[in-house]
Amino acid sequence: MRLNSASSLVLLLKLSHLAIVAALADGEEFTFNGFSAANLSLDGMAAVAPGGLLMLTNGSTVMKGHASYPTPLRFHCSRDGRSAAVMSFSTAFVFAIVGQYADVSSQGMAFFISPSKNLPTALPGHFLGLVNAGDNGNASNHLFIVELDTVLNGEFQDIDDNHVGVDINSLTSIEAATAGYYDDEDMGLFRNLSLISRKAMQVWIDYDGLTMELNVTMAPVEITKPKKPLISTIVNLSAVVTEPAYVGFSSSTGIIFSHHYVLGWSFKMNGTAPPLNISILPALPLMISKRRSQVLVIVLPIVSLVLVLASAAMAIAVAKQRAKFAELREDWEVPFGPHRFSYKDLFYATEGFKESRLLGMGGFGKVYMGMLPKSKMMVAVKRISHESRQGMKEFVAEVVSLGRLRHRNVVQLLGYCRRKGELLLVYDYMPMGSLDKYLYDQDKPTLEWVQRFQIIKGIASGLLYLHEDWEKVVIHRDIKATTYCSMLR
Ligand SMILES: *[C@@H]1O[C@H](CO)[C@@H](O)[C@H](O)[C@H]1NC(C)=O
Ligand SMILES: *[C@@H]1O[C@H](CO)[C@@H](O)[C@H](O)[C@H]1NC(C)=O
Ligand SMILES: *[C@@H]1O[C@H](CO)[C@@H](O)[C@H](O)[C@H]1NC(C)=O
Ligand SMILES: *[C@@H]1O[C@H](CO)[C@@H](O)[C@H](O)[C@H]1NC(C)=O
Ligand SMILES: *[C@@H]1O[C@H](CO)[C@@H](O)[C@H](O)[C@H]1NC(C)=O
Ligand SMILES: *[C@@H]1O[C@H](CO)[C@@H](O)[C@H](O)[C@H]1NC(C)=O
């Protein structure tokens, strides 16, 4: 029993294969004025509406759709396949592209001849459901395409965002022209057409197998075929079109969707495509005449406003950051450059002059502990507020000259920084802290008399250096246990 059903399946497959071969011979000419009765092969988003309108794409984004004549056609004259030249063929179709927005371009559509009817590896978006990034241009595609391209794509060297192109295996056209027609009524004057105009237009594709001449002509649906084609080029399709091959339409959507419609289609092998009867073609759906969606109308200004506000906020933040680290620098300070610290460095060194970094209150201001960001050197930063700029030059000169003081019992002054209303002095950091802690803190061990005597001698030696031994006389008038510490290093 099992064996029987298996062999009958084989028989069935053979029969269906015969059916396809039989259909090939019949497939030399067809005409569809609307697709209600047409048994097209559809995939992806493609569907035939009850009125007979072929919709290649519905309202989805980033999708593809194909509609093909269900049986492949024999394009080559001889029975042994590609060795023979491609026969003449001719096709005509009426299409309309109805984008999401009347004035914003979405992806276009194409007529194709291909070895496959659903191009499974092709991608949507700008690949138009015909190729993908890897196989675009590969001769093994065996693709002949007439594209109705609504997007200017640099990747495919598009001429504009509204063109008709003849493509072989690749979306880079071998020949392209801005959509339009040569008006026979007006001495062949060129009139452009907008592919995304939502209006029905007719396209004729005629190939002469002998001369290898390919003509692509288009016109508004109510106008008869213009004498002068939009594109006329010579192309040898022998190695391109396989035997047999499918004919059909492909379209895709990107982020902005479109409806791609085909209203009628005729095809003839080795002859001229039968004319379509325009009066009986299905009607396009009534358009909701929304120009741009409310979403765009509302969202776009909000987005722009947010962007403007964001950039303003950023500008303010940058300005604030600048103000935060702003310093006062004058020409006379240039020679003192090496002794100057940047406020930013001191700010980061002290974690923004954090309370926890406070070492004590000096005679003129607060002293903070910090670690310089680059050198990782520990410093003490004294912040002195001063309002007047009077005497500042002299004061800074003094500070810098004091910076040259070197004595083991005198805290080294490393440099300064100046801001509006404030002067910062940077000293060596004394890790043991100040003397007063050892004198008054209960926790610390009581200092021995020997130690105390050493400290007093140290202070005296430091003072002597300042008063007499250094090149300038420096009078220290503020000796306190709270500021004296170097002895305890
Ligand atoms: C073209 O496609 C064929 C079959 O997919 C593949 O073997 C070949 O490597 C491709 N050629 C190039 C240049 O990508
Ligand atoms: C034709 O081109 C002209 C000039 O480039 C333009 O103003 C007009 O809108 C175009 N017409 C259509 C139908 O695209
Ligand atoms: C292409 O158009 C030209 C000019 O109208 C015409 O002479 C030629 O026969 C056409 N070729 C085909 C294949 O239709
Ligand atoms: C057309 O292409 C086929 C296959 O590449 C080649 O054999 C033939 O000679 C070409 N015809 C002409 C006229 O160049
Ligand atoms: C194509 O048509 C011409 C004339 O109509 C005829 O002579 C020729 O045999 C046809 N070719 C094929 C392959 O049917
Ligand atoms: C188009 O179809 C209508 C209605 O069926 C018919 O009356 C008319 O003759 C047809 N026109 C052509 C050119 O076939």
Which atom of ligand 5 is the closest one to the Cα of 88? 1
Q: What is the pLDDT of residues 100-143, one digit of tens each?
A: 777 777 789 999 999 998 888 888 888 899 998 889 999 999 99
| Residue having the nearest C-alpha atom to atom 4 of ligand 1 | 140
Which atom of ligand 1 is the closest one to the Cα of 138? 1
CB of 224 closer than 6 A to ligand 6? Answer: no
Q: How far is the CA of 231 from the centre of ligand 3 (A)?
A: 10
Tell which one of 214, 236, 237, 240 to mutate to probe ligand 4, the residue whose CB is within 8 A of the most ligand atoms: 236
- Asked whether residue 79 falls in the same domain as residue 226, the answer is yes
| Residue having the nearest C-alpha atom to atom 6 of ligand 5 | 270
- What is the CATH classification number for the domain harbouring 66? 2.60.120.200
- Asked whether residue 259 falls in the same domain as residue 130, the answer is yes
Last residue of a domain, one of 410, 431, 452: 431
Query: What are phi and psi for residue 440, nearest 5 degrees?
Result: -110, -20
Percent of the chain topping pLDDT 70: 87
Tell which one of 90, 208, 238, 270 to mutate to probe ligand 5, the residue whose CB is within 8 A of the most ligand atoms: 270
Which atom of ligand 3 is the closest one to the Cα of 208? 13
Provide the number of structural domains found in the chain.
Answer: 3
What pLDDT does 89 receive? 95
Task: Please give the distance of CA 224 from its chain centroid, rounded to a whole number.
Answer: 44
- Asked whether residue 122 falls in the same domain as residue 43, the answer is yes
| Residue having the nearest C-alpha atom to atom 4 of ligand 3 | 228
What pLDDT does 223 receive? 94
Q: Which two tokens stand for residue 153?
A: 């794509």
Q: Measured at the alpha carbon of residue 35, what is the angle toward residues 33 and 36, in degrees to the nearest 5? A: 115
Of the candidates 145, 119, 134, the residue with the CA atom closest to the CA atom of residue 44: 119
What pLDDT does 27 receive? 44
Q: What's the one-letter identity of residue 219?
A: A
Q: How far is the CA of 276 from the centre of ligand 5 (A)?
A: 23
Q: Does 380 fall in a domain?
A: yes
Q: Does 184 fall in a domain?
A: yes
Task: Please give the distance of CA 135 from its chain centroid, rounded to a whole number.
Answer: 23
**How crowded is residue 462: how many other Cβ atoms within 10 Å of its Cβ?**
22
Q: Which residues of the chain have pLDDT under 70?
A: 1-27, 78-83, 287-297, 300, 362-364, 387-391, 477-478, 482-489
- Asked whether residue 220 falls in the same domain as residue 273, the answer is yes
Beta carbons of 130 and 143 less than 8 angstroms apart: yes
Q: Does 467 fall in a domain?
A: yes
What pLDDT does 83 receive? 59
- Asked whether residue 154 falls in the same domain as residue 79, the answer is yes
Q: Does 2 fall in a domain?
A: no
Ligand nearest to the CA of 281: 6
- Asked whether residue 201 falls in the same domain as residue 168, the answer is yes
Q: Does 280 fall in a domain?
A: yes
Q: How far is the CA of 447 from the centre of ligand 2 (A)?
A: 97
In the beta sheet, which residues pair with residue 143?
none
What pLDDT does 24 receive? 38
Q: How far is the CA of 252 from the centre of ligand 6 (A)?
A: 33
Ligand nearest to the CA of 240: 4
CA distances from 441 to 43, 64, 444 (A): 88, 82, 6
Q: Which two tokens stand for residue 266?
A: 């005729």
Q: What is the pLDDT of residues 302-336, one digit of tens each?
A: 777 888 888 888 888 888 877 877 777 777 777 77
Burial class of residue 439, CB neighbours in 10 A (0-12, 13-18, 19+) = middle
Q: Does 298 fall in a domain?
A: no
Which atom of ligand 3 is the closest one to the Cα of 213? 13
| Residue having the nearest C-alpha atom to atom 10 of ligand 6 | 277
Residues with CB under 6 A from ligand 1: 135, 138, 140
What pLDDT does 78 receive? 63
- Prediction pTM value: 0.62
Q: Cis link prior to 244 (omega < 30° from 0)?
A: yes
What pLDDT does 23 receive? 38
Q: What is the DSSP letter of 184?
A: G
Residues at the annotated binding site? 382
- Asked whether residue 367 falls in the same domain as residue 462, the answer is no
CB of 193 closer than 6 A to ligand 2? Answer: yes
Q: Which two tokens stand for residue 137?
A: 């241009």
What pLDDT does 482 receive? 66
User: Across the beta sheet with 64-68, what order do the strands follow?
Assistant: 41-44, 64-68, 246-252, 109-114, 144-149, 163-168, 175-178
Last residue of a domain, one of 431, 450, 479: 431
Residues at the annotated binding site for ATP? 382
| Residue having the nearest C-alpha atom to atom 5 of ligand 4 | 239
Beta carbons of 241 and 88 less than 8 angstroms apart: no
Q: How far is the CA of 192 from the centre of ligand 2 (A)?
A: 6
Beta carbons of 418 and 342 less than 8 angstroms apart: no
Q: How far is the CA of 215 from the centre of ligand 3 (A)?
A: 6
In the beta sheet, which residues pair with residue 107?
none
Q: How far is the CA of 280 from the centre of ligand 6 (A)?
A: 7
Rounded Cα gap, residues 191 and 183, in angstroms? 7
| Residue having the nearest C-alpha atom to atom 8 of ligand 6 | 277
Q: Which two tokens stand for residue 457?
A: 């001698």
Q: Does 408 fall in a domain?
A: yes
Q: Which two tokens stand for residue 394?
A: 């002299």
- What is the CATH classification number for the domain harbouring 427? 3.30.200.20
Q: CB neighbours of 22 closer than 8 A, spacing ≥ 6?
A: none
- Asked whether residue 188 falls in the same domain as residue 54, the answer is yes
Domain span at residue 189 reads 24-288
What pLDDT does 363 receive? 63
Q: Does 320 fall in a domain?
A: no
Query: What are phi and psi for residue 136, nearest 5 degrees?
Result: -60, 120
Which atom of ligand 6 is the closest one to the Cα of 280? 2
- Asked whether residue 421 falls in the same domain as residue 440, the answer is no
- Asked whether residue 410 falls in the same domain as residue 445, the answer is no
- Asked whether residue 472 falls in the same domain as residue 440, the answer is yes
Q: Decide if 443 is catalytic.
A: no
- Asked whether residue 452 falls in the same domain as residue 392, the answer is no
Rounded Cα gap, residues 98 and 150, in angstroms? 11
| Residue having the nearest C-alpha atom to atom 8 of ligand 5 | 270
